[in-house]
A and B are shown apart, each in its own frame.
Chain A
């Protein structure tokens, strides 16, 4: 107890030096908390924009379609989707569904043709999320509550978006339109195989040009109303039901619910979650966490060196005090304990300060928001609102305490090996 008292009082003997050390520890903590919070937010931003713009939370297809159907979408059409859709929409946690009919074909302007990936979509269901501007899109992305049914949200760059009443109209991905130099209002011809195997073509009007978060998609995609796609392919079916939930965290739970229900009805369907459909998120997450680890490592080393230098100086300054307490009968263990306590207390106080300061910084920054350039693979700007999870705060505290202990091991050992006579003479 007395040892702890002495350790704490010794720490506050050199106020300035102690403050600098504590500041260094706290700064390290804040840096880790902030960057962690920032990465978490960027990851969430990326995840949500993928979900909102491209994959939805879940997609339902005929069995096998996910693995083999990409090249031959017409082999995997759900012929009577009505009952399935109403079952899905009644499942708790589901916000909305929207059906798509995916097909491929050739688009031509007369002189030139280019192949495309077509999506027949339901404008009345996706309408509310098709944004007019990137500001709208950012607003939508920041809306974490998923209030709006925004499956397949795309941003219209020029022209108009699809509406429920549209029939022979299409909106084109930015890259695809550029390829054939198509502007809103231009006429295009879409050529494709029907479900029956014959060839069908329609004249359509390019109503607008869109972009999503993903450039690769924008380079090949075009969208037409579902009814137009169904006419073109001569079918009543769809091959993909996109499911949007209220909360991303519910994804797995809803998937299991749906799988059970499909089994009951003996529907031969398959469900994929957003993360199964895109490993981009998982890979980026790994990359982010590797960078974070490097930062944590560097910060811990800096903090370690800072405490080490403080403790080392303390041992030098207090040579005669160490000699005195050893002369009075303090064992080497006792000397080690004294200095380890000092390091420990520095780590604890610094860690607590760091947690507090980190929390304040995070709250301040997320209130203001940092405008950010597009995340990797994305085409839109976003506003970062860093928010570190509780485990980050625990981590920085733990790192501070460990750094305090580890960095005082050597100075403490050095102090304990002093010769009493030499240490006492050092003062005289």
Chain B
């Protein structure tokens, strides 16, 4: 079974009286273990598509299935559970909780999913941070870390629940090239070892080149790779 199945998904926004079409009815199938880049210029609909797959919003028409579950037919609470158990997220702005330490940030999603017993949470979080090379920064707050370190914490937070799929919206856009490539190599490594499916968006050619598959969006439609 495919991990993600997008069928004729369209999304239009209403800005006052004007209709903005962000996605024009796209089809996309992503298989388990893929390492896929979503490319396209600004405004092409990358974030919109990732939001639909993450269940953050519903398509205006068409359907999105994740591991067979039709997201449009799922309640908000059930979507939350699905995300907590089976999805990880990485954001352009890292989006760590500023009041929590690195370790607590990574522990947070464990509390939302019932996959692991509470007694293991601390250890799992520590292991995840070790995996991204931050065992020396467990008690640092986000404000005390560099952009690259913060994104590593975010990746640790995404992998700690051992999800089937990780969605990353421009994970390198706020980092310099070297750091961005390091982050991508880390993601690739996790993909190779744990068989976690990755879908990430970018408009950086070098980053795209590291992907196994590149899907290109333009004005809300696929022009390549779908």
Tell me whether B83 and A328 are in contact (CB under 8 A).
Answer: yes
Contact of A329 among B51, B91, B97, B113 (CB under 8 A): B113
In the assembled complex, A298 has its CB within 8 A of some CB on chain B:
no
B29 within 8 A of A: no
Contacts A324-B97, A419-B57, A421-B56 given: A329-B109 contact, CB under 8 Å? yes
The complex places the Cα of A235 from the Cα of B87 at a distance, in Å, of 104
Q: Does B139 contact A (CB under 8 A)?
A: no
Contact with A along B98-112 (1 / 0, CB 8 A): 111000100111011
B153 at the interface (CB under 8 A from A): no
Residues in chain A near residue B89, CB distance under 8 A: 327-328
Known: A2-B108, A421-B57, A428-B92. Contact between A327 and B83, CB under 8 A? yes
Asked if A328 and B108 make an inter-chain contact with CB atoms under 8 angstroms apart, the answer reads: yes
Which secondary structure dominates chain A's binding surface?
helix
Asked whether A321 is an interface residue with its Cβ less than 8 Å from the other chain, the reply is: yes
Check if A325 sits within 8 Å of B108, measured CB to CB.
yes
Residue in B54, B77, B104 whose CB lies within 8 Å of A2: B104
A411-426 interface with B by 8 A CB criterion: 419-421, 424-425
Q: Which of A324, A325, A330, A419 has the most CB of B within 10 A?
A: A324
Which of B54, B83, B85, B97 gathers most chain A CB within 10 Å? B97
Complex CA gap A9/B111 in Å reads: 18
- By the criterion CB–CB under 8 Å, are B99 and A424 in contact? no
Known: A2-B111, A321-B97, A424-B56. A331 touches B80 (CB 8 A): yes
C-alpha spacing A2/B100, complex, angstroms: 10
The reply to whether the CB of B95 lies closer than 8 angstroms to some CB of chain A is yes
Give the CA-CA distance A320 to B92 in the complex, in Å.
Answer: 12
Contacts of B54 in A (CB 8 A): 327, 420
Residues of B within 8 A of A (CB): 47, 51, 54, 56-57, 76-77, 80-85, 87, 89, 91-93, 95, 97-100, 104, 107-109, 111-113, 157
Pairs A–B under 8 Å by Cβ, sample size 15:
A2-B104, A321-B95, A321-B98, A323-B95, A324-B91, A327-B56, A327-B83, A327-B95, A328-B157, A329-B112, A329-B113, A331-B77, A419-B56, A424-B51, A427-B93
The 6 closest A-B pairs by CB, nearest first: A329-B84, A9-B99, A420-B56, A329-B112, A329-B83, A324-B95
